[in-house]
Structure 1
Amino acid sequence: MFLANQLLTWILSVMFVEWGLLENPIREFPAASGSNFTNNYLLFPFLSALFSLYYPNHKSLGLQVLYQLMFVVGGGIYIACISKYTELLRYIHLNVYLQMLVTVIILNMTRLYGIWFFQKKTHQER
């Protein structure tokens, strides 16, 4: 789950920087990439793994929506704070709300990939 999410966040973060949607003025490896390493390759994949691990699959739809909102809004608040109070992230043609939409899509893509990858096959399907 962690590696699957790293793949998605790496591709998207590089695309967002190259397309001029956002920039990371201060970053760990400025010569290697225009992306922020800690947020995109460590923190977000870790939170995505936790999201998938504790997702309430067999609970009500309302609880699932609340669970997703908790992660997405929490991430949105974090992103808004680092965008406003630090030089780690600067939005150019992207905003926190679009970032939250991308976040919910990536979280669910990673979760569905994990369900597919770890599904148990019956003896006849092997």
Structure 2
Amino acid sequence: MSRFVEQWILVFVWGMTLASLLFIPRDKYRSALTIFLFKQCITWLLGLLVVEWGWIDYPVRLFWKVNATSFTFEYFVYPVICIFFMLHYPERRGGWTKLAYYAAFTTGILVPEYVIEHYTRLIDYLHWTWYWSWISLFLTFVLSRWFYVWYFKPVRPDKIKP
């Protein structure tokens, strides 16, 4: 695929992700921003590690002189997806439903990544496979959920000191 087409894929992804932000309820902006920033911290570290260790390469990317990771995915798309993951999390459902929710979001990210890896130069797996991506995505969702629950835990009235 030509570099021109790959650049337009990046522009399309940015446009769709920016448009999706319009669907965040106004009363959830604080939660959304907290989720977004926490997920960026995780993906920044993991993204840099896998690139520096030579497991993944991003031949076509934004800010190619500054950073070897995929700015589009690591710093924008994935954190925005995590916002929707958290805001629509099945809080009052059973364990199997929650596990299926994690698996659905993880697989929903992995399928386009796998297609992009095979048909474009936006991502190249060097010493990486699709199941490592699936595991790392799943675990970062779990870690983000733990943080979200910890950060936004409700204060019980019996725990408030006078």
TM-score, shorter chain, exceeding 0.5: yes
Q: What value does the CA root-mean-square deviation take over the aligned residues?
A: 1.2
For residues 76-95 of structure 1, give each alpha carbon's deviation from its aligned partner in whole angstroms, at most 9, with x where no partner exists: 10110110111010001111
Structure 1 residue runs of 4+, over 6 Å off?
none
1:50 to 80, 84, 89: 84
Match of 1:96 in 2: 130
1:120 and 2:148 are equivalent in the alignment: no
* Superposition TM-score, scaled by structure 1 size: 0.94
The alignment-based identity, stated in percent, is: 27
Letter paired with 1:16: V
Whichever structure has more helix as a proportion of its residues is 2
Tell me, in whole angstroms, the C-alpha distance in 2 between the residues paired with 1:75 and 1:61.
22
Tell me by how many angstroms 1:125 deviates. Answer: 4.7
Extract unaligned runs of 5+ from structure 2: 1-34
Extract unaligned runs of 5+ from structure 1: none
Matches for 1:20-99 after TM superposition, within 5 Å: 20-99=54-133
* Superposition TM-score, scaled by structure 2 size: 0.74
How many residue pairs end up in the alignment? 126
Bigger relative contact order (CA 8 A; separation at least 6): 1
Letter paired with 2:114: A
